[in-house]
Amino acid sequence: MKMTFRWYGEGDSIPLSFIRQIPGMTGVVTAVYDIPVGEVWPLEKILRLRSLCQAQGLEMEVIESVPVHEDIKLGCPTRDRYIENYAKTIENLGQAGVRCVCYNFMPVFDWLRTDLHTPRPDGSNALSYCHEALMGLDPHDLHLPGWDESYTQDQLEALLQAYSGMSHETLFDNLVYFLNGILPACDRANIHMAIHPDDPPWDMFGLPRIITGPDSYRRLFEAVPNPHNGITLCTGSLGASRDNDMVAMAASLASRTYFAHLRQIRFSGERDFCECGHQTREGSLDMYGIVKALVDHGFDGYVRPDHGRNIWGEDGKPGYGLYDRALGACYLTGLFEAAEAERAGRTGSTRGTRSTLGSS
C-alpha cells in the first residue's frame, strides 16, 4: 500500500514541506480547484501541481476528486459533452502519471454533517451528524456547515426540481452510462476510477443515493465489469450505516478497492455519530480488522487517513487539519506493517509496505 495525505492545493494552509515530514508518507491526493465543474483540466495545470509535489519528494498519483457534472447524474441530453470532457481530463491526468481518480455520484450534495465543532471530552472537537437535526432542515434554504455553497438559491431550487422523482434505478443507469463513456479513456491512460460511497449512506432530502452498501457494489461490478471501474472504500461513510459490516466489506471488496479512506466514527444514536481519533478503541469500527481484511485479500492500493479532529489548538479546515490526520496516518501505517508482516509470515510472500521517501 501507499500512504497518502489529502492536500487542497496551493490554497491549503498546510504546506507540502510539513506533509513530507509525516513518517511513511509517499504522496498527496489533490485536485485542480480552479476549473469549473464539467470543463477539461488543462495538462499544464496538472503538471504544475505535480511539479510542486515532486519538489518536496511527494508523488501525485491520486486525484480526489474530478467532480461529475450534475447533467451527467441527471442524464440530460448535454451529458455527452461533459462525458467527453471528463474523458479528456482522464487522458491528461494519465499523461501526468496519475493512477487513480476518486469521484462520487451523489446528487447535489456531497458529504453532510450537522456540526463541525462538536466538543469532545478530551478538549478536542470534531465533525458530527445528527439525523433528526438534518431532517429538520429545509433543503431549499440550506446553510450546512462545510457544504460548498457554490449554487445560488435559484440554481439549487432548479436542481432539486430536476431531480424530483428520480428513482435509484435511473440514477444507477446514469452512472453506468457515464462509466461506459469514460472507461475507454481510463483503459488507454491506465487510470483506475474509484467511486466514493455516499456519506452518510442513505437518501437525503428525497434525493436518491446509490452507493451505500454491499448490494450497490455487486450491482456496479455486474453492470460494469471493466477492472478500471473500482472503488474508494471509505470506512467512515459506509460504517455510518449499522447494516454495513466493514470488516466483511473490506474483505469482499479488497480486489476492486484502489483507494481507501480509513476513518473512525463513534455512534451516538441509531443514525447519529461523531468523528473521533482513528484508533479502534476510540470509536465503533474495528480498524485493525478492516486493515487486516484488506491486506489478507490482496489490497495493494492507496490509503489516506480521513477526517481528523482539531487538536493541540489547531483550527484547521474542518476534518482536514494537520495534527490528527498525521497521527492517523502513523497509526494506519503501523497497522499495515503488522498485517503485511503477518501475512508474509503465513504465506512466505515478500510483498510488504512499499518503499517510502526515506528509501532514496
Instruction: Enumerate the active-site residues.
Output: 196, 234, 261, 306-307, 320
Least distance from ligand DNO to the Cβ atom of residue 105, Å: 9
DSSP 53-76: HHHTT-EEEEEE--PPPHHHHHT-
Least distance from ligand DNO to the Cβ atom of residue 308, Å: 11
CA dihedral sign of residues 145, 151, 153, 155: negative
Task: Report the residue number, 229 or 339, with the smaller CB distance to ligand DNO.
Answer: 229
Residues in the interface with ligand DNO (CB under 6 A) total 11
Which one of 64, 275, 286, 340 is in contact with ligand DNO (CB under 6 A)?
64
Helices first, then strands: H and E counts in the chain: 12, 12
Cβ neighbour number for residue 40 with a 10 Å cutoff: 15
Site string for ligand DNO, 114-153 (x = CB under 6 A): ----------------------------------------
* CA 42 – CA 164 distance, rounded (Å): 34
Contact 143, 149 (CB under 8 A): yes
Query: Which residues ranging from 220 to 279 are in contact with ligand DNO (CB under 6 A)?
Result: 261
Least distance from ligand DNO to the Cβ atom of residue 64, Å: 5
DSSP state of 356: -
| 286 lies in the site for ligand DNO, by CB under 6 A | no
Task: Report the residue number, 306 or 340, with the smaller CB distance to ligand DNO.
Answer: 306
Type of residue at 82 = Y
DSSP state of 354: P
Task: Report the residue number, 37 or 40, with the smaller CB distance to ligand DNO.
Answer: 37
Task: Report the residue number, 111 or 258, with the smaller CB distance to ligand DNO.
Answer: 111
Site string for ligand DNO, 90-119 (x = CB under 6 A): ------------xxx-----xx--------
Task: Report the residue number, 5 or 340, with the smaller CB distance to ligand DNO.
Answer: 5
What is the chain's alpha carbon radius of gyration, rounded to the nearest angstrom? Answer: 19
Which one of 196, 228, 304, 325 is in contact with ligand DNO (CB under 6 A)?
196
Contact 303, 262 (CB under 8 A): yes
* CA 196 – CA 111 distance, rounded (Å): 10
Cell of 87: 474523458
Query: Which residues ranging from 309 to 328 are in contact with ligand DNO (CB under 6 A)?
Result: 319
Task: Report the residue number, 94 or 201, with the smaller CB distance to ligand DNO.
Answer: 201
Least distance from ligand DNO to the Cβ atom of residue 196, Å: 4
Least distance from ligand DNO to the Cβ atom of residue 140, Å: 23
Q: Whose grid coordinates read 480547484?
A: 33
DSSP 188-209: HHT-EEEEPPPSSSS-BTTB--
| 37 lies in the site for ligand DNO, by CB under 6 A | no
Spatial strand order in the sheet of 273-275: 115-119, 125-129, 273-275, 265-267
Applying CB under 6 A, the residues found at the interface with ligand DNO are 64-65, 102-104, 110-111, 196, 261, 307, 319
